[in-house]
């Protein structure tokens, strides 16, 4: 048992240590882009919510455009593993420490899963470990998913585990129930790339099962996949229902603008540590080696014994199908329905390539024709050197450092292989050690992914809460720090940007500061609201937003500030120039920010009801979670407006009779009150698709339980029917 655990334990330990190496380049390497502005603060908020109330995470109307978490999907609110992440992040006083721990743990999960998949295809433990420890530090996985997009990182982490569980189910080596659990975790992660992995991996294995004529296994796998698919409505129906209001609904279903789309030639640089392809990134040209896989895959090509692929072609069919499908998708157009920016799929194609490499590598490196093979490796390194330099001829130091290290590692590998005639451990040590060395070089050269947005937000939770503790009630920030971001990114000097966070916060960072802010990061958006307030998805506003907050949404109505029930505003001084603010607010200013505080209490303080048209007499209004109860009279009828966005799922009744709900031009929820109304209006929210989602979960779980039970019965019958070994009669 100890011997069996030696290599997987090494994978865990090495990956953990290597996961800390990028911090030598920059302490903020894992807090770039969305990680800083969206995920870290939202994870912290989710964790504190669960700790304080024990309630599940649902829609939060107080977060406005960023609060429809079921429709946002990517936070994976139905995934129990994610809850553990939230609790970990909220349990530390530093966002930096907690996020590093979480991301390194996910990278370990990727490596261990890749190791198990390679072993599932009978790869030698040392070969599986060498590939597995390299995969989490491939270019895109490290610099984009781990650095900026943790939802993508988590989705990728499930892919090898789905592959491993599904193939064992195909072979009859695993109870289908456990494969369902793994598939369900991938689906409920929320990121559509995890769902795509279930489909592509499952499809590839079905083909493998048909080629190997394992029809019982194919039936078992297809039924298991059907049970997993039954969970799709739970995760994606709210997204579908809200998509008409989302900012991305206006984009093309199919299109190609070249953004984050690699060319085939870019993939040829997968072993060059400092090859940076000319791919359009988020903030301009790519700045990091996103096409990098691992240093040894190309230099080893002359030494591999490829006959194993021919000898085992039928049982390796799944690897080929999965790899080719992902390769085609990686080179596809920049927009394919829900899936944009195909560079996101490169890591999945590298997973398939890595498994195939581990299988071939397991046969050992060739020992004949030393000189010819060495020349072949040298030629490959030389070609990579030219490609790396030619792509960016002015980056001579980085190119020389990367190719020099690659050449040294390749030479060391050849020498160790030639002198070590029996031990593969030394070869594995060079492969794995080389991964750590290339990672260290990349950390020193690139430090952070400058193609992703720069934030460098404060991460001390207590200090944040103390600094912004003077902001009471519902707060809205009117500021745009994007010019400072761009300047810091362009010049490399972020001093002014870091100083700006003393007065303003980006994305969802007000959550960590303990402030009830309207501003939140949203990847989906709510177009009417954001358009009216000139809101950017990062929570920043253009100057027109501050002007419009003082204007009525409808003729004769109150200003938008009243409809939103704002109690405090934080304003960038230059956005207030020329804007006449409304009465009833006290202003204080310190030269860096303007803070406005409402003088008088708001009407209906225990409710989100913010306005009733003249003629509607409101006796009382009370909020209970997502529900509102309003007692009123309205001889001539009218309309109620609530300080919450009109997401799909709201309904209203007057003493049991259904009322019409709608939204005003700013996207706020409205309820039409009929003539002669005299009674109680009940406003309730029900997650769209709840009934069909519940049915789907029930069908999926029940189906998986039945499959699991049937598998147990079949195994017991087989054991009972198997001939028993003969034992000697002790009396004879």
Q: What one-character-per-residue DSSP string does 682-711 give?
A: EEEE--TTHHHHHHHHHHHHHHHHHHHHHH
**Average pLDDT score over residue span 346-356:** 98
Predicted local confidence at residue 726, as pLDDT = 61
| Positions of E strands within 615-663 | 617-624, 627-634, 638-645, 650-654, 657-659, 661-663
pLDDT band at 422 (very low <50, low <70, confident <90, very high): low
Return the number of other C-beta atoms located less than 10 Å from residue 602's C-beta: 16
Q: What angle do CA 699, 703, 704 make, to 5 degrees?
A: 120
pLDDT band at 725, cuts 50/70/90? Answer: low
- Angle of helix 176-188 relative to helix 690-721, nearest 10 degrees, comes to 150
Please tell me the predicted confidence (pLDDT) of residue 591. 82
Query: Quick check: 541 and 530 in contact, CB under 8 A?
Result: no
pTM: 0.94
Q: What is the pLDDT of residues 74-126, one digit of tens each?
A: 899 999 999 999 999 999 999 999 999 999 999 999 999 999 999 999 999 99
Question: In the prediction, which pLDDT does 732 show?
Answer: 41
pLDDT confidence bin for 420, thresholds 50/70/90: confident
Domain positions in the chain are 2-30+92-245+261-446, 466-598, 609-685
3-state secondary structure of 121: coil
609-685 maps to which CATH number? 2.60.40
pLDDT tens for residues 687-723?
Answer: 999 999 999 999 999 999 999 999 999 888 888 887 7
The mean pLDDT value of the chain amounts to: 94
β-bridge partners, 629? 622, 682
pLDDT tier at 250, thresholds 50, 70, 90: low
254 has a pLDDT exceeding 60: yes
The mean per-residue pLDDT over the stretch 535-552 comes to 96
Q: Could you give the CA distance from residue 242 to residue 68 in angstroms, rounded to a whole number?
A: 9
User: What's the confidence (pLDDT) of residue 731?
Assistant: 41
CA–CA dist 276, 266 (Å, integer): 9
d(CA 509, CA 28): 16
pLDDT band per the 50, 70, 90 thresholds, residue 256: confident
Provide the total of helices (H) and of strands (E) in the chain, helices listed first.
28, 17
Angle at CA of residue 103, ends 97 and 109, nearest 5°:
140
Structure tokens, 143: 């610099």
């Amino acid at each position: 048992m100890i011997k069996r655990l030696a290599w997987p334990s090494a994978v865990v330990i090495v990956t953990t240590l290597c996961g800390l190496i990028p911090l030598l380049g920059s302490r903020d390497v894992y807090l770039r882009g969305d990680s800083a502005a969206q995920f870290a603060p939202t994870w912290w908020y989710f964790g504190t919510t669960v700790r304080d109330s024990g309630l599940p995470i649902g829609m939060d109307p107080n977060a406005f455009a960023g609060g429809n978490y079921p429709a946002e999907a990517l936070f994976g609110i139905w995934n129990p593993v994610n809850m553990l992440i939230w609790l970990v992040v909220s349990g530390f006083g530093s966002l930096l420490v907690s996020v590093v721990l979480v991301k390194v743990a996910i990278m370990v999960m990727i490596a261990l899963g890749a190791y198990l998949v390679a072993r599932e295809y009978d790869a030698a433990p040392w070969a599986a470990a060498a590939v597995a420890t390299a995969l989490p530090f491939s270019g895109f996985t490290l610099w984009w998913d781990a650095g900026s997009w943790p939802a993508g990182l988590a989705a990728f982490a499930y892919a090898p585990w789905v592959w491993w569980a599904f193939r064992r189910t195909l072979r009859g080596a695993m109870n289908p129930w456990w494969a369902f659990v793994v598939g369900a975790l991938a689906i409920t992660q929320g990121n559509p790339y995890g769902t795509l992995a279930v489909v592509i991996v499952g499809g590839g294995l079905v083909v493998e099962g048909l080629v190997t004529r394992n029809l019982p296994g194919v039936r078992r796998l297809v039924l298991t996949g059907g049970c997993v698919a039954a969970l799709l409505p739970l995760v994606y129906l709210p997204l579908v229902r809200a998509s008409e209001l989302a900012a991305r609904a206006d984009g093309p279903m199919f299109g190609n603008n070249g953004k984050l789309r690699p060319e085939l030639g870019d993939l040829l640089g997968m072993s060059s540590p400092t090859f940076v392809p000319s791919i359009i990134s988020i903030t301009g040209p790519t700045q990091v080696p996103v096409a990098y896989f691992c240093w040894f895959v190309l230099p080893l090509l002359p030494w591999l014994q490829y006959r194993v692929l021919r000898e085992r072609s039928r049982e390796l069919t799944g690897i080929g199908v999965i790899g080719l499908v992902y390769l085609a998708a990686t080179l596809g157009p920049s927009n394919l329905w829900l899936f944009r920016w195909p560079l996101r799929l490169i890591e999945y194609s590298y997973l398939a390539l890595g498994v195939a490499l581990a299988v071939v590598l397991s046969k050992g490196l060739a020992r004949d024709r030393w000189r010819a093979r060495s020349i072949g490796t040298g030629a490959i390194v030389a070609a990579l050197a030219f490609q790396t330099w030619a792509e960016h001829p002015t980056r001579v130091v980085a190119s020389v450092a990367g190719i020099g290290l690659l050449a040294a590692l390749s030479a060391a590998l050849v020498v160790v292989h030639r002198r070590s005639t029996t031990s593969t451990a030394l070869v594995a040590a060079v492969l794995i050690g080389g991964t750590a060395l290339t990672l260290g070089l990349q950390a020193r050269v690139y430090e952070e992914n400058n193609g992703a947005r720069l934030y460098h937000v404060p991460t001390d939770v207590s200090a944040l809460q103390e600094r912004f503790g003077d902001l009471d009630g519902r707060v809205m920030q009117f500021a745009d720090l994007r010019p400072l971001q761009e300047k810091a990114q362009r010049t490399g000097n972020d001093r002014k940007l870091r100083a700006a966070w003393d007065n303003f916060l980006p994305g969802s960072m007000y959550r960590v500061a303990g402030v009830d802010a309207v501003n939140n990061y949203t990847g989906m958006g709510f177009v009417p609201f954001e358009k009216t307030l000139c809101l950017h998805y990062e929570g920043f506003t253009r100057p027109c937003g501050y002007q419009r907050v003082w204007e009525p949404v409808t003729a004769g109505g109150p200003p938008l500030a009243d409809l939103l029930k704002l109690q405090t505003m934080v304003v960038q001084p230059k956005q207030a120039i020329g804007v006449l603010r409304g009465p009833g607010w006290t202003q204080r200013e310190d030269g860096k920010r303007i803070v406005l505080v409402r003088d008088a209490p708001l009407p209906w303080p225990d409710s989100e009801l913010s306005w009733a048209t003249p003629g509607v007499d409101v006796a009382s209004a009370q909020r209970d979670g997502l529900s509102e109860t309003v007692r009123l009279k309205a001889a001539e009828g009218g309309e109620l407006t609530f300080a919450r966005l009109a997401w799909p799922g709201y309904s209203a009744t007057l003493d049991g009779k259904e009322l019409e709900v709608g939204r005003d031009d700013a996207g706020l929820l409205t309820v039409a009150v009929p003539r002669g109304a005299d009674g109680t209006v009940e406003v309730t929210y029900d997650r769209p698709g709840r009934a069909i989602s519940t049915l789907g979960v029930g069908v999926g779980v029940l189906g998986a339980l039945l499959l699991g039970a049937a598998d147990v019965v079949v195994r017991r019958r087989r054991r009972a029917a198997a001939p028993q070994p003969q034992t000697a009669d002790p009396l004879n």
